[in-house]
């Protein structure tokens, strides 16, 4: 696989990760693409569908089972990539969850929902990065991309003139909030900043991408998001691929916007 770029996209059987893989498959560049996910049935089905749709692609596509809630699964996925390819060129940390609504539905307690938001979006993503790092350091052009959120911006979420900031009436109950998800993505931004610092002298390029308000399965209600004006997930996929293909090399170490030029305020 010396003549192809090896890319792993986690959480890629649907949504933004799936769209990123579609874009990679249409590229004139040659990729070995690993479609990562925790549900083996779903990732195998996604790979089968994409292979049929892009049968003339210059690139190859394979499923890779990886569950960010399991250290054993992450290590096994790394061992699989190492045994088969010996290196990894780009790690796209796309997998994530939004569990706040499960509290309203009575499916999880507040503590359980917050813990899951942080375990997948921050801890599991960090552990995956740490685990795959030896393979990335064997690449001639190693890249790490973290999929964050516009709601991770402290500047945006504290600006009283922002449409994102609303002050509810005094008293209880307070309206539903995705505070757990938002804070976990802010935490993920710090993870990105620290990896960018730690790996600067190793030549590893690191970013986070703020893909925009998109109608994905995150939270389990894509149709509702569409009604609220959410865009197509392909927009976020294009932003992730832009980091892989070098379009955002001038913005290493920042949160780059997927919906417009430039970077997101911290």
Q: The tokens of 157 are what? A: 């979420």
A 10 A CB-CB count for 173 gives 6
End-to-end CA distance of the chain: give it in Å, rounded: 38
d(CA 36, CA 77): 9
pLDDT 10s digits, 44-89 = 999 999 999 999 999 999 999 999 999 999 999 999 999 999 999 9
C-alpha 185/C-alpha 196 separation (Å) is 16
What pTM does this model have?
0.93
- Select the more confidently predicted residue: 108 or 236: 108
Q: For the chain, give the percent of residues with pLDDT over 70.
A: 91
Instruction: Report the alpha-carbon angle 68-50-83, nearest 5.
Output: 50
Q: Is the pLDDT of residue 216 over 80?
A: no
Nearest to 240 by CA among 32, 3, 23: 23
**pLDDT number for residue 235:** 76
Helix (H, G, I), strand (E, B) or coil at 7: strand
How crowded is residue 254: how many other Cβ atoms within 10 Å of its Cβ? 20
What are the residue numbers of the active site? 149, 181, 185
Task: List, in order of start, the domains of the chain with CATH numbers.
Answer: 5-257 (3.40.50.720)
In whole angstroms, give the CA distance from residue 245 to residue 209.
14
pLDDT of residue 260: 73
Residue 188 pLDDT exceeds 90: yes
pLDDT in tens, 6-43: 999 999 999 999 999 999 999 999 999 999 999 999 99
Considering the chain, what is the average pLDDT of its residues? Answer: 92
Tally the C-alpha atoms within 13 A of residue 237's C-alpha that lie toward its C-beta: 23
Provide the CA 261 distance to its chain's centre, in angstroms.
19
Which is more confident, 164 or 190?
190
Instruction: Identify which of 53, 110, 95 has the alpha carbon closest to the alpha carbon of residue 218.
Output: 95
Res. 229: pLDDT tops 90: no
What are the beta bridge partners of residue 214?
231
- Please compute the mean of the pLDDT values over residues 171-197 and round it to a whole number: 97
Between 55 and 223, residue with greater pLDDT? 55
**pLDDT of amino acid 103:** 96
**Would you state the pLDDT for residue 227?**
45
> What is the band of 253 on the pLDDT scale with cuts at 50, 70, 90?
very high
């Amino acid at each position: 696989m010396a003549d192809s770029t090896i890319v792993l996209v986690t959480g890629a059987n649907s949504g933004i990760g799936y769209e990123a893989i579609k874009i990679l498959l249409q590229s004139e560049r040659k990729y070995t693409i690993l479609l990562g996910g925790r549900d083996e049935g779903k990732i195998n089905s996604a790979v089968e569908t994409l292979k049929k749709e892009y049968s003339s692609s210059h690139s190859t596509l394979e499923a890779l089972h990886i569950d960010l809630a399991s250290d054993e699964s992450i290590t096994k996925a790394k061992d699989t990539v190492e045994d088969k390819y010996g290196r990894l060129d780009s790690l796209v940390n796309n997998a994530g969850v939004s569990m706040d609504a499960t509290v309203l539905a009575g499916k999880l307690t507040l503590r359980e929902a917050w813990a899951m938001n942080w375990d997948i979006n921050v801890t599991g993503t960090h552990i995956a990065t740490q685990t795959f790092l030896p393979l990335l350091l064997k690449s001639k052009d190693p890249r790490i991309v973290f999929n964050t959120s516009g709601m991770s911006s402290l500047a945006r979420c504290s600006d009283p003139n922002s449409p994102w900031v609303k002050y509810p009436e005094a008293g209880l109950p307070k309206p539903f909030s995705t505070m757990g998800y938002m804070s976990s993505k802010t935490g993920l931004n710090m993870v990105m900043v620290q990896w960018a610092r730690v790996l600067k002298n190793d030549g590893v390029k690191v970013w986070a991408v703020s893909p925009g308000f998109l109608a994905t399965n995150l939270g389990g209600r894509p149709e509702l998001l569409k009604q609220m004006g959410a865009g197509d997930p392909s927009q976020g996929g294009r932003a992730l691929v832009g980091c892989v293909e070098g379009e955002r090399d001038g913005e290493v170490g920042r949160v780059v916007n997927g919906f417009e030029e430039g970077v997101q305020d911290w």
